Structure 1
Amino acid sequence: MKAVEIYIGTTLRGSARGIGKGMYIMRAHLADGRVHERMAAVEIDGATESRLALYCLRDSLARFQYACEVSVHTECTYMAAAINSHWPEGWRGMGWMTGRGTKVKDAGLWRDILWHLEDTGHALQAVAGRHEFSGWMRANLPRLYAPRDIFGEVAGEALNPVGYRSGGHPMASWHGED
C-alpha cells in the first residue's frame, strides 16, 4: 500500500463557532523519488474546528481511488482521538448515538469518511498536535479566499502572492511542479 500523509489546519479552535476556514495538504512519495503534494481549502459558516477538519478529511479521502496507508496530522485532538479509538465504527453500530445516548455531531461527515475507508480499503491513523505545516497554515489561512465548495483547488499564489517560491519553505516544491 502507498503511504500518504494528510496535514489539516483550521482557523477555529475547539468548540468556537463562526465562519471558519480549513485547509488540507496531501503528500505522497512517488516511485521515482519525487514528492507529490496537493492542497484544497473550505470556508464554512457556523463551523467548529472538528467540523472543518472532518470536511477536509472527507474531501482528501475522496481523492484516492486505491488503498493507502493514510496518516492524518491535525491539531484537532477530538478528531484524532475518534479515529485512533475507532469511535465512528461504534457510533454507526449504535445508530449514530454516543454512549451517553445523544446524537453524534457531524454524523453525516463521519458516515462519509467510514464509507471512503471501507470502499477503498484505506488504513487510517491520526497524529494529534502541531505538524510541519501548522505555522504556515495559521499565518495563511485567515488571508485565504476559500471557496465554499470543498472540492475547489486553491492556487498557490492565492495563499501568498508575494510567494514562498524560493528559500526552504515547505510548500516550495508544490508551486509549479506536478
Structure 2
Amino acid sequence: MTHVTIYTDGSARKNPAGPGGYGAILEVTDASGTLHTRELSQGYVRTTNNRMELMGAIAALEALKMPCEVELWSDSQYLINAFTQRWIEGWIKKNWMRTKTEPVKNVDLWKRLLQAAAPHQITWKWIRGHNGHPQNERCDQLATSAADSGHLIEDPGA
C-alpha cells in the first residue's frame, strides 16, 4: 500500500462568514526514493475557519486515486480530535447531535470527509500551528492566498 503524508490547513477572514480558503500538501516517496509533492488550494466567498480546516483534509483525500496508508497532519484540533478522541463516533451514534438540543456543525463536510477517508488507513496527527514547521507554514500560505485570491467559489454549506 502506498504511504502518503498529507498536511492541511484552513483559513477564514472575518470568521465566521468571511472569505476563506484551504491548503493541502500531499507527499509520496516512490520506489527509487524520489519525493513527489502536490499542492492543493481553493478559496471560498463566505465560509468559516472550521469548514476550511475540513475542506483541506477532504480535498487531499479525494485527490488520492487508490487506497493508501495516510498520515494526515493538521493544526486543527477540531479536525484531529474528532478522530483521535472518537468524537465522530459519538456524533454518528447520536444522529449528528452533540447534545439533545445541539446539532453537530458542518455535518455536510463531516459526512464528505468520512466518505473520502473510507478507502484509506489514516493516522490523524496534530501539529502546532504557526510554529515554523515548513509544510504547515506552506499550507497556511496556500490557504490564506486562496482566501485573498479573488478566485472564490461558493461554499454551499456556509
TM-score surpassing 0.5? Answer: yes
Question: Aligned match of 1:148 in 147, 150, 153?
Answer: 153
Cα RMSD (Å) of the superposition?
2.7
Structure 1 residue 16: Cα displacement: 4.1
Contact 1:14 1:49 in 2 (8 A): no
Shift of 1:92: 1.7
| Residue equivalent to 1:129 | 128
Q: Where does the alignment leave 5 or more consecutive residues of structure 1 unmatched? A: 151-178
Structure 2 matches for 1:1-178, cutoff 5 A?
1-12=1-12, 16-99=16-99, 101-118=101-118, 120-130=119-129, 131-139=133-141, 141-144=143-146, 145=149, 146-148=151-153
User: What is the rounded CA distance, in whole Å, between the counterparts of 2:89 and 2:67 in structure 1?
Assistant: 19
Equivalent position amino acid for 1:111 in 2: K
CA separation of 1:49 and 1:104: change in aligned 2, threshold 3 A: same
Q: Once the 2 structures are TM-superposed, how far is the Cα of residue 19 of structure 1 from its aligned partner?
A: 0.5
Query: Higher strand proportion, which one?
Result: 2
> 1 or 2 for the larger relative contact order (CA 8 Å, sep ≥6)?
2
- The answer for unaligned runs of 5 or more in structure 2 is none
TM-score (norm 2): 0.78
- Decide whether aligned partners of structure 1 residues 51 and 28 sit closer, same or farther in structure 2, where only a CA change above 3 A counts: same
Q: Say how many residue pairs are matched.
A: 149
**TM-score, structure 1 normalization:** 0.70
Distance 1:136 1:67, change over 3 A: closer
Find the aligned partners of 2:139 and 2:67 in 1 and give their Cα distance: 27
Deviations 1:6-61 (A, max 9, x none): 11123338954410121111111111111111111111233222110111111111
Mapped contact 1:70–1:124 kept (Cα < 8 A): yes
Aligned partners of 1:41 and 1:17: how far apart in 2?
19
What are the superposed Cα offsets for residues 132-153 of structure 1, whole Å, 9 maximum, x if unpaired? 2233444565444355389xxx
Distance in 2 of aligned mates of 1:72 and 1:58? 11
Aligned CA distance change for structure 1 residues 28 and 101 (closer, same or farther; 3 Å): farther
Structure 1 or 2, whichever has the larger Rg, is 1
